[in-house]
Amino acid sequence: MNDKKYLWWHEQTLPELTHFAKEVSDIAILPIGAIEQHGPHSPIGVDAFNAKGMAELIAQKTDVMLLPWVWYGSHPYHHWYMPGTIPLSYDTHIAMLVDIIQGASISGFNKFIILSAHGQVSTTLVAVHKLGLAGHFTLSMHWYDFLRDDKDVLTDYMWHAEEAETSVGLYLYPQYIDMSKADKGGGSALIDKRFIIAPGQMPKPGMMYHFEGTFARPEYKELENGIIGDATKATREKGEKMVTRVVDHVVDIIEDIKQRWPVGTKPPVK
């Protein structure tokens, strides 16, 4: 078997893959990101790089298989028409996720985690329920949901291409981040921001996520530099703390799955 610290599906031979699912672990993580502009200082592949990097750290601690990460993602309506961003239609993204999981199940994998480093709940939730109807145990996780008012690390909530995402980039792929071009950004909404949940924020009564309404201003009209928040406050140390907390939370969930449903056992979803 491969002695790497983590295992990518596409690097295995068929005998290695089937042995792993049968004898080591039948849990597979599908990291999904997006092709989306992230200001003048960060690469367009930020979300895909984040998903890949976090998945590898999780796999190092859990012995799970990593499905080939997905670069393209689904986007809320207000991301569309922004230069640099390439959104998939909702039907396309849902169908892609369902097809990938169902295809991977043929090789003996019984538990799946969709690990998203991008706000695409509008498609991942539908995909999970379609997979449930087909009998597949699937969890959909968005990394910012593991932060929850992480104000001991960040000075503000996570928004876009700002302190949080830039800090994670400085930790996972610093070679692509140019802090000399980091800047503060804008962004407004059609309702008061007290009604809007920021990624990673602990929701209060009456608050809504951006995917629950059409109250966000279109980015191509609204953002001058592609940033919402303050990227100048980013540091590698903040990124390491954020990534470590996300990884530890997901590892905890995986260990619970392993204990409840040992390798070769398919949870009775259907």
- The answer to whether residues 168 and 146 touch, using CB atoms and an 8 Å cutoff, is no
Residue 1 pLDDT class (50, 70, 90 cuts): very low
Instruction: Tell me if residue 89 falls in helix, strand or coil.
Output: coil
- Please write the tens of the pLDDT for every residue from 83-101: 999 999 999 999 999 999 9
Dihedral sign (CA 243, 39, 34, 151): positive
Nearest CA among 165, 152, 156 for reference residue 54 = 165
Query: In the chain, what percentage of residues exceed pLDDT 90?
Result: 91
pLDDT greater than 70 at residue 10? yes
The β-bridge partners of 12 are none
- Please write the tens of the pLDDT for every residue from 193-246: 999 999 989 899 999 998 899 999 999 999 999 999 999 999 999 999 999 999
pLDDT greater than 60 at residue 155? yes
Q: What is the maximum span of the chain, computed from C-alpha positions, in angstroms?
A: 56
Provide the token pair at 127: 């995909």
Average pLDDT of the residues of the chain: 95
Q: Which domains does the chain have, with CATH numbers?
A: 7-260 (3.40.50.10310)
- Per DSSP, 60 falls in state H
Residue 187 pLDDT class (50, 70, 90 cuts): confident
Nearest CA among 101, 32, 43 for reference residue 72 = 32
The residues near 113 (Cβ < 8 Å, ≥ 6 apart) are: 27, 28, 29, 30, 64, 138, 139, 140, 141, 250, 253, 254
* Cα–Cα distance for residue pair 240/154, rounded to 1 Å: 12
pLDDT greater than 70 at residue 4? no
Residue 147 pLDDT class (50, 70, 90 cuts): confident
